[in-house]
Amino acid sequence: MRLPVVKSGIMALGLKRETDPEAFLARVEPFLTEREAENNLPLGIISGIIDGVQTYSAERPLLAWVEKEGDVELVAIRTPPLKLILSTSASNEAVALAARELHAAREVIPGLTAPSREAKLFSQAWSDVTGTKMRLAVSQRIYRLDRVIAPRPVHGFLRACDPNSAADFAVTARWFEAFNRDVGEDEALPDPARVLGRPGQGLFFWEHQRPVSMAGFSGATRNGIRIGRVYTPPELRRQGYASACVAALSQRLLDEGRKFCFLYTDLANPTSNRIYQEIGYRPVCDAVVVKFENP
């Protein structure tokens, strides 16, 4: 489906859409992989849609890009009912056009996750055409790891969550809820069954007599994969379990052939930002999660 082309000076900008996720990936992947770390989230979500693990309703995902003279300038993805995801952009005009055209197409956008510059530009344009206000929900930083720096030794070992274990399932469900609460996430709580044993993603525990920390992976890109859902219960924190879990899982993924791993941190949590850097993660760029609300 092609929406009307909008003129920007002498350059023709147009928002285009695709319904086939594999065709969409083929079109936008070269643009996204030019900045693979910054764009690891949209790349990973497209892979998840293709694998069938990134669908949350009967409504079709929004798969769109802004094009100028045959070149991709911006990628926009939404898996309803979740927030819109934006890539890095090649121009400010591409971001503003995306906001105007998605509004014209009557897309419902409750919020946005994007690199900081693109989020600011889109939010301003979206507010101009809808009258809604932007509320900053989370300030994030994207990190990339190419080589693990071993943390201080702690008791325990890394093990995969067993999708056939009722005990593992119960711990995972409880920790998913606690993780969402800690990060202030109010979107639909993911079903652990959608993560355990599914292609392209998984969950691991750091085990010391019982599970003491958790980390997962998902969102594979051409060269990397994203670490996420890192959680340690409050009474077990500050003992090195999260560092050990993330370091061991990152090394496992590198050993399996990934060139690098990515993760997002909450900038309001200085502890997590520090411990990830201590095991080899390096800052790439900042990103934000925003919500759109009626004034």
Q: pLDDT exceeding 70 applies to what percent of the chain?
A: 89
- Residue 235 has what DSSP assignment? G
Same domain, 126 and 151: no
For residue 137, being part of any structural domain is answered with: no
- For residue 64, is it within any domain? yes
Q: What is the pLDDT of residue 163?
A: 84
23 and 115 both lie in a single domain: yes
- List, in sequence order, every residue forming a beta bridge with 13; answer none if it has no partner: 6, 68
Q: Are strands 224-231 and 211-218 parallel, antiparallel or unpaired?
A: antiparallel
**Whole-angstrom Cα distance, residue 122 to residue 107?**
14
Break the chain down into helix, strand, coil percent, rounded to 5.
35, 30, 35
Per-residue model confidence as pLDDT tens digits over 144-172: 999 999 999 999 999 999 888 999 989 99
Q: Which two tokens stand for residue 157?
A: 């070992």
Q: Please give the tally of structural domains in the chain.
A: 2
- Whether the CB-CB separation of 115 and 121 falls below 8 Å is answered with no
CATH number, domain with residue 226: 3.40.630.30
Range of the domain at 221: 145-285
pLDDT at 194 over 70: no
| Together in a domain, 92 and 212 | no
Q: The domain that contains 13 carries what CATH number?
A: 3.40.630
CA distances for 242 relative to 146, 222, 234, angstroms: 19, 27, 12
Domain assignment of residue 139, yes or no: no
Q: How many CB atoms lie within 10 A of CB 66?
A: 26
* Residue 136 forms part of a structural domain: no
Q: Do residues 29 and 75 lie in contact, with contact meaning Cβ atoms separated by under 8 Å?
A: no
Indicate the pTM of the whole model: 0.89
Helices and strands in the chain, H and E counts: 7, 13
Q: Where are the beta strands (DSSP E) in the chain?
A: 2-8, 11-17, 62-68, 71-78, 84-86, 111-115, 133-145, 157-160, 202-207, 211-218, 224-231, 260-266, 282-293
Domain for residue 94, yes or no?
Answer: yes
Residue 36 lies in a domain: yes
Residue 108 lies in a domain: yes
For residue range 214-259, list pLDDT tens digits in order. 999 998 999 999 999 999 999 999 999 999 999 999 999 999 999 9
Of 209, 203, 216, 218, whose CA–CA distance to 168 is shortest?
203
Distance CA 179, CA 206 (A): 16
**Least confident interval from 87-91, 110-114, 160-164:** 160-164
